[in-house]
Structure 1
Amino acid sequence: MTLRIQRVYDDPTPEDGYRVLVDRLWPRGVSKERAQVDRWLKEVAPSNELRTWFHHDRTLFEEFAVRYRAELDENPAVDELRTIVAEHPVVTLLYGAKDEQDNQAVVLRDYVSMTS
């Protein structure tokens, strides 16, 4: 199993495998054709309340990660993502955030990797 993350704004590559968008909102300025998303799993994204609270403030990232993992513990969509990961040798989680280190896809990748 290979679970990768990538900005949805980056060009798709053959190495991406199965591409899953993990944002609650469709990213601005990206057409569905350009994004080449195989599955939009918005249900696994942080809740609107958590997303709004975090607002990509790096100083809040550690607390955001704790809260998001707590949401994931109760989120049935995680099982759907685990099924996707089990069915494909390479899965790339796509996200729209500008910050490539402190975003929900990083938390989600680590969460799924550690709990699978």
Structure 2
Amino acid sequence: MIRCKRVYEAIEDQDGQRVLVDRLWPRNKRKTDLHGQWLREVAPSDELRKALHAGALDFAGFTRRYQQELAAHPEHWYPLLDLAGKGDLTLLYAGKDTVHNNAQVLAEWLEAELDRRGPGSSPVCYGQ
């Protein structure tokens, strides 16, 4: 199962492998507190991230463009498929919006890839 969770939330047994998928390190979070990996290259480009935060893109536009970036660079997200195939995977993000974030888009992308390869599970993002 692939979950999405704010990096500031408590670590839980069901988190499985934890991977931070933001380009920037979260404020007030020590690296030793992550208890997982940081894959900044799988995050949206700086240009795309800034366009969303500035309001130049709505979330649907952000999603389309982020999916294009993901399609162009499978080497960035392919290791996540391996982790998801071995057990629970939690994609961590720092943003306050629990519904409209890059981790949600990435989880849906990974689930679609897993479905193409065989049986999968649906992404779960806390706060929905």
Assess same fold via TM > 0.5.
yes
Match of 1:115 in 2: 113
Paired with 1:46 and 1:26, the residues of 2 have a C-alpha distance of 14
1:48–1:97 CA distance, 2 compared to 1 (3 A): same
| Deviation of the 1:85 alpha carbon | 1.6
Match of 2:78 in 1: 79
| Deviation of the 1:105 alpha carbon | 0.4
**Residue 54 in structure 1 maps to residue 52 in structure 2:** yes
Runs of 4+ in 1 over 4 A off after TM superposition: none
Identity %: 40
Compute the RMSD of aligned alpha carbons: 1.4
Paired with 1:93 and 1:44, the residues of 2 have a C-alpha distance of 11
Paired positions, count: 112
Match of 2:10 in 1: 11
Provide the TM-score with structure 1 as the length reference.
0.90
Match of 1:21 in 2: 20
The unaligned stretches of length 5 or more in structure 2 are 115-128
The unaligned stretches of length 5 or more in structure 1 are none
Aligned with 1:81: secondary structure?
Answer: helix
User: Is contact 1:56–1:103 with CA below 8 Å preserved after alignment?
Assistant: no
1:70-109 pair list within 5 angstroms: 70-75=68-73, 76-86=75-85, 88-109=86-107
